[in-house]
Structure 1
Amino acid sequence: MKDIVQPSPATTSRASARTRPATRQQADYVPASEVRALLANSLAARQERLGAADMISTDEAAQLAQTTRVTINAWIAKGRAIGLTQTKRGFRMPRWQFEPSMWDALPRLSSALGTTEGWALLSFLESPHGGLNGITPRQAIEQGQSDKLIKIAEHEGN
């Protein structure tokens, strides 16, 4: 019979973690049925957002910005503009991003977060943030708090 060694109080949690058996219980994982439901809800939410009144096509964005669709697509690729992928070809874009305060902040925000992915940028901009007293980053930009937001985004991106 093996002797069981009890860790001393001086033993670090890292060391005691090594001595514990590595067992997983079934409850540690989300069932596949819940994952499918989450993904279905995510798709439905994305489809709803793509169809919202503030969304425009790349052609409409090009007209609004007085440029070409090719330039708009280049801006999306560089994180200069938010382009949301959809199930069919092309992008949908929130019209509000072409407002002067937002237009100046978007490339800095994309760089700070380390992403050009449209859904990630939109989600960040439209989700209330504790570091901004519960307002959304989009509202912070509209209220002239771009510099504060960029500092927050730099911490999020790292």
Structure 2
Amino acid sequence: MTKASSSGQKATGRYVTRSSVSDAPRTTARATTTGEFTVALPSKSVQALNPRKSGVRAVMQVLSERIAESRESGRATGFWVDVDPNGQPRVRAEQAGAATPAEPPADNDDLEAALAAARERGRLRAAEILSGQEMLSAEAFAELLGVSRVTINAKRQKHEVLGLDGAKRGFRFPAWQVDENGKPFAALPQLFERLGDSPWTVYRFLIQRHPELEGASGLDALRRGRTEEVLDAAESVAAGAFG
């Protein structure tokens, strides 16, 4: 990486990676005559990057060029980084000054029709899920737990049980949220804390497989007692969604 000095000559630059004591990513830029740029990263990141310094240097070089280009042109620009099977990053850059092709304006009527169709597909899919045999009414779920319907509704509002709003059918409660002791999974309130108030979001997290859980679903991991790993995975999913 090079950095132009005030005299017009180029000063040799360095890109340095260092392990952060707190294991939290942070960056520190130093305006020195050597042009050193230090980045403190988690130790795992440093271990992954150090053997590939040339590739990382190339990425940083293109990044600096794109930052300068965007500032001068006043428009967004970017580039792609491919990682080969050996873990070596390779840059695929946009051509400088290349204009981003504009999408043709959508007709308002066509857009509304597309949105309406998407909503209808979502409604039909939700109805299909809620009609499954594992989906219990409030009365049936209360009977399964040996409590009253009033108690079930109170638990639903406190996120102690998972209840999906079926509109015409009322709330439906997945029978599989009950553990081997006949109790709802104790982690449910914490999942809501991490994923938000939407029961459908928690439902999707539980039935989908996650790389953070070695390909297991949230539900399977809970059944195997991997509660902390499940909560960490939920936090990771939430960070990815809103990061």
Task: Please indicate the TM-score interval, normalised by the length of the shorter structure.
Answer: 0.7 to 0.9
Say if 2:209 is the partner of 1:153.
Answer: no
Aligned residue number for residue 221 of structure 2: 140
- Higher mean alpha-carbon deviation, 29-38 vs 94-103, is at 29-38
Say if 2:149 is the partner of 1:69.
Answer: yes
Return the TM-score normalized by structure 2: 0.53
Q: Distance in 1 between matches of 2:199 and 2:190?
A: 14
Greater Rg, structure 1 or structure 2? 2
**TM-fit CA distance, 1:86:** 1.0
**TM-fit CA distance, 1:94:** 0.3
**Structure 1 runs not aligned, ≥5 long:** 1-7
Aligned residue number for residue 25 of structure 1: 103
Greater relative contact order (Cα < 8 A, sep 6+): 1
Aligned residue number for residue 58 of structure 2: none
Q: Answer 1 or 2: which has greater strand percent.
A: 2
**TM-fit CA distance, 1:63:** 1.5
Q: For residues 49-93 of structure 1, what are the alpha-carbon distances to aligned partners after superposition, in whole Å with 9 as ceiling and x for unaligned? A: 101011101111111212221221121112111111012163011
Q: 1:72 to 1:13 in 2, by over 3 A?
A: farther
Contact 1:102 / 1:142 at 8 angstroms: preserved in 2?
Answer: no
Q: 1:26 to 1:110 in 2, by over 3 A?
A: same
Q: Distance in 1 between matches of 2:173 and 2:147?
A: 15
Contact 1:56 / 1:94 at 8 angstroms: preserved in 2?
Answer: yes
Q: Distance in 1 between matches of 2:151 and 2:72?
A: 57
Q: Answer 1 or 2: which has greater helix percent.
A: 1
Could you say what the CA RMSD is over the residues aligned between the two structures, in angstroms? 3.1
What is the aligned-residue identity percentage?
27
Matched residue type, 1:12: A
Aligned residue number for residue 36 of structure 1: 116
**Structure 2 runs not aligned, ≥5 long:** 1-63, 77-98
Q: Distance in 1 between matches of 2:103 and 2:178?
A: 50
1:108-119 to 2 correspondence within 5 Å?
Answer: 108-115=190-197, 117-119=198-200
Matched residue count: 150
Say if 2:71 is the partner of 1:15.
Answer: yes
Aligned residue number for residue 106 of structure 1: 188
Q: For residues 13-41 of structure 1, what are the alpha-carbon distances to aligned partners after superposition, in whole Å with 9 as ceiling and x for unaligned? A: 65256346999523799944443333222
Q: Distance in 1 between matches of 2:121 and 2:235?
A: 30
Say if 2:131 is the partner of 1:60.
Answer: no
